[in-house]
């Protein structure tokens, strides 16, 4: 769900110069792969609970809180990591055009496809919707597609900030993003301006402090257990300060948990890359396709198991639902490519904003 990295970005120094592109790309893909599995599992466990399958409330809350503490900030951080290179290569207009194709287009298409499917299924889904709710997608993003909406407007804000602030003073943008995070609950609840204050700090941290990723990749073995412990401590603090989001203590605990979770994931991704564990790398490369389709795939298999087969076992639902949510989109994407069917994940050539290269 982020732009493909190139060897000219700052984090490339984390590996020997002769192998920068392949190895660095690999750890990023592993990080995205870990993140996207957590996204799928989070939606599966929530769907299972909403469907009435018995699950202990405390187990659900701890699992849910732990996942959502860092997995979305992780994707914003990784997106920001490659923003400076994209800025220098594409500029303001080029980035916006690219994000219209890679974020806005799939957001609109799949919001409509999934929404209309939910309308047609009516009461069979956990959260029935109306056609009016589906068509309000331009100002009211629904379900998991809010992420694409939020990421696009985060890119817009980052582009404006980079255009205004001189390069030598861009560090101040992280400070401003931190301030926005602490006052985020006072921002008017208009989606385009409400989401970015929650995640801009992670995006800009990736863009302006890329040495953190370099440090973690080089020292992955000691970093992983260290940041797991720090994440647990931060989660305990989050539970202790649970209450209004405007509480600055809770905001500090949120930032600490997200930072520790991101760091642990990057360290794990570096270790997976060194071990040549190719599955998570594949999932990372296909993270957009998985993200767009996983909810429908997991919901369909849950309905089939619960309504048709009468299966109420929690473990079976979690395992099968997550597996289908991850691998069904891969199969769908493979068939589209095999049959040369364009337009499901990016605009067909005739609708593309990018200049078309002549065939070679």
pLDDT, one tens digit per residue, over 3-13 is 444 333 334 43
* Concatenated DSSP letters of 257-319: HHHHHHHHHHHHHHHHHHTT-HHHHHHHHTHHHHHHHHHHHHHHHHHIIIIIS----HHHHHH
- 98/100 Cα distance (integer angstroms): 5
Domain parsing of the chain, residue ranges: 10-351
On the 0-12 / 13-18 / 19+ scale of CB atoms within 10 A, 178 is middle
pLDDT band at 359 (very low <50, low <70, confident <90, very high): very low
pLDDT, one tens digit per residue, over 94-136 is 999 999 999 999 999 999 999 888 888 777 666 778 898 899 9
- CA 258 from chain center: how many Å? 13
pLDDT, one tens digit per residue, over 97-107 is 999 999 999 99
pLDDT band at 182 (very low <50, low <70, confident <90, very high): very high
pLDDT of residue 319: 97
Please compute, for residue 12, the number of CA atoms within 13 A of its CA located in the half-sphere on the CB side.
15
Q: Is the pTM above the cut of 0.85?
A: yes
- 83/273 Cα distance (integer angstroms): 23
pLDDT, one tens digit per residue, over 250-269 is 999 999 999 999 999 999 99
Section 280-297 average pLDDT:
96
- 115/316 Cα distance (integer angstroms): 27
pLDDT band at 20 (very low <50, low <70, confident <90, very high): very low
């Amino acid at each position: 769900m982020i732009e493909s990295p190139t060897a000219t970005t700052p984090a490339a120094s984390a590996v020997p110069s002769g192998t920068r592109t392949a190895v660095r790309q690999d750890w990023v893909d592993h990080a995205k792969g870990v993140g996207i599995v957590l996204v799928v599992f989070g939606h599966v466990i929530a769907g299972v609970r909403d469907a009435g399958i018995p699950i202990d409330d405390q187990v659900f809350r701890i699992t849910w809180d732990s996942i959502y503490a860092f997995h979305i900030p992780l994707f914003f951080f990784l997106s920001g990591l490659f923003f400076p290179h994209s800025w220098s290569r594409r500029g303001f207009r080029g980035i916006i055009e690219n994000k219209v194709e890679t974020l806005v287009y799939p957001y609109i298409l799949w919001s409509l496809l999934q929404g209309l499917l939910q309308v047609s299924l009516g009461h069979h889904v956990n959260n029935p919707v109306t056609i009016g709710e589906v068509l309000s997608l331009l100002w009211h993003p629904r379900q998991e597609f809010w992420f694409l909406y939020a990421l696009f407007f985060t890119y817009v804000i980052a582009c404006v900030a980079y255009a205004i602030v001189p390069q030598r003073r861009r560090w101040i943008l992280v400070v401003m993003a931190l301030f926005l995070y602490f006052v985020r609950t006072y921002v008017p609840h208009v989606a385009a301006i409400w989401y970015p204050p929650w995640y801009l700090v992670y995006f800009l941290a990736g863009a302006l402090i890329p040495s953190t990723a370099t440090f973690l990749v080089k020292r992955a073995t000691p970093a992983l257990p260290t940041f797991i412990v720090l994440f647990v401590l931060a989660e305990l603090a989050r539970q202790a300060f649970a209450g209004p989001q405007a509480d600055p203590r809770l905001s500090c605990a949120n930032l600490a948990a997200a930072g520790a979770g991101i760091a642990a994931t990057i360290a794990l991704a570096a270790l997976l890359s060194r071990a040549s564990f190719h599955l998570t790398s594949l999932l990372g490369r296909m993270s957009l396709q998985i993200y767009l389709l996983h909810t429908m795939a997991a919901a369909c298999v849950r309905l089939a198991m619960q309504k048709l087969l009468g299966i109420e076992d929690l473990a079976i639902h979690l395992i099968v639902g997550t597996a289908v949510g991850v691998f069904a989109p891969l199969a769908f994407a493979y068939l589209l490519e095999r049959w040369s069917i364009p337009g499901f994940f990016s605009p067909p050539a005739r609708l593309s904003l990018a200049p078309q290269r002549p065939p070679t």
